[in-house]
Amino acid sequence: MIEYKSDISFVCPSCAMSVTMNIDVPEPDWHADRASDMIADTESVLSCPNCDTEILAKVFNAGGDCQVSFPDFQEVKIEAGHAY
């Protein structure tokens, strides 16, 4: 099984400091019949390196195009790079 990663950046909702980190993302379903079915998702708990606040994250990987959201902090904008 290949491990996929993505680089993300956001402003911590607790300490308001900029955060850049590398996170694990799920492997897409390469055996799906259609590209729209290749989406894989998971939940992960991230820890702010500045204040140690734990943040629940939903992580989606659709054939390398990653999206990350914080369900408890929906106003936080998260920039996610492609999976590698």
Q: Are 54 and 68 in contact (CB under 8 A)?
A: no
CB 29 within 8 A of CB 38: yes
Model confidence band, residue 80 (pLDDT cutoffs 50, 70, 90): very high
Q: Closest Cα partner for 53 from 11, 25, 7?
A: 11
| pLDDT in the model for residue 1 | 60
pLDDT in tens, 34-72: 766 778 999 999 999 999 999 999 999 988 899 999 999
Q: How many CB atoms lie within 10 A of CB 54?
A: 10
Q: What is the mean pLDDT of the chain?
A: 92
d(CA 33, CA 79): 29
Place of tokens 């989606």: 60
Amino acid found at 14: S
